[in-house]
Amino acid sequence: MKRVVTLQDISCVGKCSLTVALPIISAMGVETAVIPTAVLSTHTMFQNFTFHDLTDEIKPITEHWKKEGFQFDGVYTGYLGSFEQLELAKNLIQDFGQTLSVVDPCMADNGKLYTGFTPEFALQMAGLCAKADIICPNLTEAAYLLGEEYQSTYSEEDIQTILKKLTALGAKKAILTGISLEEGKLGVYAYDATSDMWYQYYREELPEHFHGTGDIWASTFTGALVSGKSFEESLQIAVDYVCECIRLTLEEENHNTYGVNFEQAIPYLIERIK
């Protein structure tokens, strides 16, 4: 059985980070070890959330694992809350990420950093991205990683330039999520610097945007890749699953907006990765 380790927070309510990574990757038939970086009452889009930092736990956990001789088929990092955690994430990749490392630099969207993050943190996150095989920022995160202004409109040439700059940071492959080059279509655009190959995949844009879909995308992508799907198939499976989650959410009349219905879309995912 394949096994990944994921490093990110646990937001007790909010359907993001570990509360989506664990069920999704597990449902794909991949053992999912977790290192929680912090416990929050909710994700940071709610007001007055609690935050308990777990940085001090990370090194003892990985030291124990090293003594046990555990090995992983992939390391996947998501939301990280401090400069120290960025360094610990680099160590995790070095110690356990020889086969595959995926860094989702969760820290911003819609032109803005999430609560608690600074441009300095974003530049340090670029240092973690440099150590990864694959990174998957959205356009806002990409701008912060590169220390550039966020542009809400862009051409295909702009996207290719950003992807080249992102891989120049050090990652082998970079994926930009939330890309729309044609009215009504939304998807991903990726670049593999090792083979100089470009990849794109789009679906119809659905009428509402939800929180946590970036984490669902990255978890599904990582699970698919570790299960043996190709890079291109994994991109597509992850886009298709996010679409299915949103479709099911929109079917519910009184759906909430903090997260999508990924739970009832799990049978679709299991079929999709067969």
**Nearest of 153, 147, 151, 152 to residue 166 by alpha carbon:** 147
Q: How many residues of this chain interact with ligand PXL, rule: CB under 6 A?
A: 14
Q: How far is CA 133 from CA 60, 103, 106, 172, in A?
A: 25, 8, 16, 5
Contacting range for ligand PXL; rule: CB under 6 A; set: 54-62, 176-184, 208-216, 223-231: 208-216
Report, in Å, the least distance between residue 157 CB and ligand PXL: 29
Helix intervals (H) in 177-265: 213-226, 231-251
Report, in Å, the least distance between residue 56 CB and ligand PXL: 18
Helix intervals (H) in 69-187: 83-96, 119-129, 139-146, 156-168
Among 73, 133, 141, 215, binds ligand PXL (CB under 6 A): 215
Compute, in degrees rounded to 10, the torsion defined by CA atoms 7, 139, 16, 34: -10
Report, in Å, the least distance between residue 45 CB and ligand PXL: 5
258 is a site residue for ligand PXL (CB under 6 A)? no
The C-alpha atoms of residue 141 and residue 209 are separated, in whole angstroms, by: 17
79 is a site residue for ligand PXL (CB under 6 A)? yes
Q: Which is nearer to ligand PXL, 48 or 153 (CB)?
A: 48
105 is a site residue for ligand PXL (CB under 6 A)? no
Contacting range for ligand PXL; rule: CB under 6 A; set: 21-29, 190-198, 200-208, 210-218: 210-218
Q: Which is nearer to ligand PXL, 11 or 101 (CB)?
A: 11
- Under DSSP, is residue 87 helix (H, G, I), strand (E, B) or coil? helix
Q: Which is nearer to ligand PXL, 20 or 30 (CB)?
A: 20
The C-alpha atoms of residue 48 and residue 91 are separated, in whole angstroms, by: 32
DSSP code for 154 = -
Both tokens assigned to 150: 């966020």
Report, in Å, the least distance between residue 26 CB and ligand PXL: 19
The sign of the torsion formed by the CA atoms of 104, 109, 115, 118 equals: positive
Both tokens assigned to 49: 């959330």
219 is a site residue for ligand PXL (CB under 6 A)? no
Report, in Å, the least distance between residue 63 CB and ligand PXL: 25
Angle, alpha carbons 11-15-19 (nearest 5°)? 65
125 is a site residue for ligand PXL (CB under 6 A)? no
Among 6, 28, 32, 43, binds ligand PXL (CB under 6 A): 43
Site string (165-204) toward ligand PXL, x via CB under 6 A = ----------------------------------------
Q: Footprint of ligand PXL on this chain (CB under 6 A)?
A: 9, 11, 16-17, 40, 43-45, 79, 106, 114, 212, 214-215
